[in-house]
Chain A
C-alpha cells in the first residue's frame, strides 16, 4: 500500500462513491420501473375486471324484470328437451281450430342436424276442405315450439281432400355451465330483441306447473270400504 501513488490514494474514495452511486441508481431505478410497470398492469386488469362486473350488475339489474317473460318465449319456441309432445299438442289444437282432426300420426325422434340442433319429425293426415287445410297450415307456422312444414301432399277426393303433412321441429339441450363471474355479459341487441318480439306473439303451449302436495295419511288405502262378513 506504501507504493500506491498519493494521487490514487486521494482519488479512490470519491471515484468509488461515484461508481457505486451510479450502479445503485441504475439497479434501483430499473427495479422501480419494472415494479411500477407490473403494478400498472395489475391496476389496469383490476379496473377492467371492476368495469366488467359493474356493467354486468347494471345489465342484470335492468333485465331482472322482463327476463322471465322473454325466457319463457324463447324456451317455449326453442326448447331444451324433445318437444314432440308439445308439437303434437299444437298440431292437434290448431287442426281442431281449423275444423280438422289429425290422424295416422307418425313420429320420428330424429337426430342431430348439421348445425348441432336436434330434430324431430311428425307426419300426419288431415281430412277436410282445401280452405280448412290452408288455414291449418297458416296457423301452424305461428306456434311455439317451432314447427316447419317440410312437405304437403294433397289428395283430392271429391269435395273433401286428404292432406299428408310432414313437419319438423328443432331443439337443443340447455347449456350446463354458466360463464365465470368475471366474464362479461352483453345485453340483447336489436336483432335479438326483434326475434323475441316476433316469437312472443306466437301461439304458446300451456305451461303446467305442479306443486308438491303435503304428505297426508291415507285413511282408505284400498280405495273402498271393506265389508266384513257377519
Chain B
C-alpha cells in the first residue's frame, strides 16, 4: 500500500536537515562497523596473548621441575660461586709475603757474613748481621744495593768490635 503524506511540504523538515540526519546515520553505521571489527581483532589478540602466557607458564613449570631434579647441582653451583667470590676478594686483599723467599740469594749466598737475626713482614726485612772483614762487608752491601727488588735500604746501626768485626742492622723495604 502506498504511503500517503497529507501534510503540507512546509511543515516537514527541510532538505539540509535531512541530509545531516542521513550523514549522522552513516557515521553511526561506520563507527558501529569499526567497533565490531576492532572488537573482534582485540578479542582475538587478547585470546592469543592469554594462550601464549598459559603455554609459557606451562613450559616454565616443566623447566622448574627439571631444575628441581638438579637441586644438588644448583646448591653446589651456588656454594661454588659463593666460595670463588670470597676467594677472589681474599686474593685481592691479601698477597703472599715474598720478602723472605725473595731474599733467599742474599741470605744463602753472602759469604763471610754472619747473620744473627732476620725479621720479615709484609714487604719489609730487618737484618742484623756482622762481618769480620770490610771487603766481604763491602761485597754484601754491593749485592744489597744492586738488588732491584729493594725499594729503600736503611743502615740503622753500624759498629766495629775487634771480636765480632763489623756489626750492622739493615732495614730493607721491598717494592
Contacts and interface: CB of A to CB of B under 8 A. Distances in A.
Given A130-B107, A138-B101, A195 B31 contact: no
Interface string A20-33: 01101100110010
Contact of B90 (A67, A75, A170, A192): A170
Interface string A174-216: 1100110100011010011001100100000000000000000
A156 interface: yes
Interface string A154-181: 1110000000000000101011001101
Contact of B75 (A43, A54, A178, A186): A178
Contacts of A32: 38-39, 42, 46
Interface stretch (B62-70, B132-140, B146-154, B155-163): B62-70
A197 to B, nearest CB: 11
B101 A137 contact: yes
Contacts, number: 200
A14 B118 contact: no
A137 B100 contact: yes
A24 B35 contact: yes
A222 interface: no
A110 B120 CA distance: 22
A4 interface: no
B39 A47 contact: no
What DSSP secondary structure best describes chain B's contact surface? helix
A43 B56 contact: yes
A61 interface: yes
Interface stretch (A83-91, A95-103, A142-150): A142-150
A11 to B, nearest CB: 6
Given A39-B50, A53-B67, A156 B114 contact: yes
A172 B90 CA distance: 11
Contacts of A40: 49
Interface range, B side: 35 or more
Contacts of A60: 67, 70, 73-74, 77
B17 A188 contact: no
Q: Which one of B13, B77, B91, B117 has the highest number of Cβ atoms from chain A below 10 Å of its Cβ?
A: B77
B80 A191 contact: no
Nearest to B35: A25
A11 B81 CA distance: 77
A191 B84 CA distance: 10
14 contacts: A10-B21, A14-B25, A39-B46, A50-B63, A53-B67, A63-B77, A117-B90, A130-B107, A137-B100, A146-B87, A156-B117, A188-B84, A192-B85, A195-B91
Interface of A: 6-7, 10-11, 14-15, 17-18, 21-22, 24-25, 28-29, 32, 35-36, 39-40, 42-43, 46-47, 49-50, 53-54, 56-57, 59-61, 63-64, 67-68, 70-71, 74-75, 77-78, 115, 117, 130-131, 134, 137-138, 141, 146, 148-156, 170, 172, 174-175, 178-179, 181, 185-186, 188, 191-192, 195-196, 199
